[in-house]
Amino acid sequence: NAGVTQTPKFQVLKTGQSMTLQCAQDMNHEYMSWYRQDPGMGLRLIHYSVGAGITDQGEVPNGYNVSRSTTEDFPLRLLSAAPSQTSVYFCASSYDRGQGIGSSYEQYFGPGTRLTVT
Rule CB under 8 A: which residues touch another protein?
A: 4, 31-33, 35, 40-45, 48-50, 56, 58-59, 90, 92, 94, 96, 99, 101, 104-112
The full DSSP string for 7-22 is E-SEEEE-TT--EEEE
Are the C-beta atoms of residues 76 and 19 closer than 8 Å to each other? no
User: Residue 2 or residue 101: which is nearer to another protein going by CB?
Assistant: 101
Show the DSSP H helices in the chain as ranges.
none
Min. distance of Cβ 57 from another protein in angstroms?
9
User: Residue 17 or residue 37: which is nearer to another protein going by CB?
Assistant: 37
Min. distance of Cβ 16 from another protein in angstroms?
29
User: Residue 33 or residue 71: which is nearer to another protein going by CB?
Assistant: 33
> Strands 76-78 and 64-66: what pairing?
antiparallel
Min. distance of Cβ 58 from another protein in angstroms?
7
Distant-in-sequence, close-in-space partners of 20: CB < 8 Å, separation ≥ 6 = 75, 76, 77, 78
Min. distance of Cβ 48 from another protein in angstroms?
4
User: Residue 17 or residue 45: which is nearer to another protein going by CB?
Assistant: 45
CB atoms within 10 A of CB 26: 13
